[in-house]
Amino acid sequence: MRVTIADDSVLFREGLARLLEGAGFEVIGRAGNGTQLLDLVDADPPDIVITDIRMPPTNTTEGLQTAATIRERHPSVAVLLLSQYVETTHALRLLERGADRIGYLLKDRVSDVHDFVETVRRVASGGSAIDPEVVAQLVVRRRHRDLVGDLTEREREVLKLMAEGRSNSAIGDALSLSPKTVEGHVHSIFQKLQLEPADEDHRRVLAVLTYLRA
């Protein structure tokens, strides 16, 4: 799998490249800001771009804008955004045009190498990844308004993992449940929240997030 990385910290960029190469990825480009990243992607589109949000020159939301441009110009290139902090507002804006091939995570998540690499693979092959902190905020807001109250504690956990973009088997691994049981919980959640069933994982993410955001 071919990856292009953008981050203004050289140390982090190189560390991330080493991590990914160790996991069998081919790092084909390294950029220090949004413009460089766009040039690299235009010249040789990778399978996935991993980019920081806050980069020079304005040090605000370069990564978000670049991600939007990449998704427009190269719909087949997946984008994973990393940031020192996550905001629900940014997440919802990112998902405006669908949840496939998109990821939004705290930079901290790189410390769990195994999970991070899995996430990169998932996003690169058409899935999505939403940071647990974003999901937690949305769920809290929803719970205030008593709209996830009908769910059992276990179902709520499944809902959160679903919203993060994880597959049934990943949810099963995380919660030590059999795939059958997970499927049962997912079915029950969709029924209780009266959501249209969605087959693909990234459509499921969008359905759940749309519900949580409403």
Partner 1 sequence: MTATSDAMPTRRQAVAGLAIATGGATLAIATLSLAIVDHESLPWKQLDGSTLPGLSLEWTYVLRLGLATLSTVVACAIAGLIVWRQPRNAFTWTFAAFAVAYALNNFTVQYAIHGLNVVPDSLPLADTAARYQLFAGVLLLTCAVSAVLLFPDGRLRSARWAVAIVLLVLLQLGDVALNTDSPYFMIIGYAGRQGVPVTSLPDWRALGQALGWLRQDMFPFVPGTALFWGNNILAVLVGAAVLLRLRSASGEARLQLKWFAYAVTFAAIAFLVNRSDWFAAILFADRPPVRQEVADVLHPIALWADQVFNVSLGLLMPLTVGIAIMRYRLYDIDLVISRTIMYAGIAAFVTLCYGVTVAAVGNLVGETAGMGPVVTLIAIAVIALLLEPVRARLNAFANLAVYGKRANPYEILSDFARSVGQSESADVLLPRMAQLVRDGAGAALVEVWVRVGERLRLAAASPASPAAETLADPNDIAARAGPTGTVVPVFHENEQLGALVVRKPRGEHLTPMEVRLVSDLASQAGLVFGRFRLFEELRESRARIIAAQDEERRRIERDLHDGAQQRFVNAMLNVGMAQAIAGPMSETSDLLQHAAREMQAGLSELRDLARGIHPPLLTESGLHAAVASLADRSPIETSVVGVPDRRYAEPVEVTAYFVVAEALANAAKHSHASSIKIRIEEEAGRLRVEVSDDGVGGVDSRRGSGLVGLRDRTAAIGGSLNVESPGGHGTVVRAELPCG
Q: Which residues bind partner 1 (CB under 8 A)?
A: 9, 11-12, 15-16, 18-19, 22, 54, 59-61, 84-85, 87-89, 107-108, 110-114, 116, 137-138, 140-141, 144-145
- How far apart are CB 189 and partner 1 at their closest, in Å? 22
Q: Which residues pair with 4 in a beta bridge?
A: 29, 49
Helix (H, G, I), strand (E, B) or coil at 97: helix
Contact 167, 122 (CB under 8 A): yes
Compute CA 170 distance to the chain's CA centroid, rounded to the nearest angstrom.
14
User: 138 or 163, CB closer to partner 1?
Assistant: 138
User: 60 or 191, CB closer to partner 1?
Assistant: 60
Determine the Cα–Cα distance for residues 35 and 206; give it in Å rounded to an integer: 29
CB atoms within 10 A of CB 55: 24
User: 16 or 120, CB closer to partner 1?
Assistant: 16
- How far apart are CB 52 and partner 1 at their closest, in Å? 10
Determine the Cα–Cα distance for residues 190 and 142; give it in Å rounded to an integer: 16
User: 114 or 180, CB closer to partner 1?
Assistant: 114
User: 9 or 191, CB closer to partner 1?
Assistant: 9
Give the distance between the most distant pair of CA atoms in the chain: 51
Determine the Cα–Cα distance for residues 24 and 64; give it in Å rounded to an integer: 27
User: 141 or 156, CB closer to partner 1?
Assistant: 141
Determine the Cα–Cα distance for residues 188 and 50; give it in Å rounded to an integer: 35
Select from 53, 56, 55, 58 the least CA-distant residue to 68.
Answer: 53
- How far apart are CB 185 and partner 1 at their closest, in Å? 26
- How far apart are CB 138 and partner 1 at their closest, in Å? 8
- How far apart are CB 11 and partner 1 at their closest, in Å? 5
- How far apart are CB 95 and partner 1 at their closest, in Å? 15
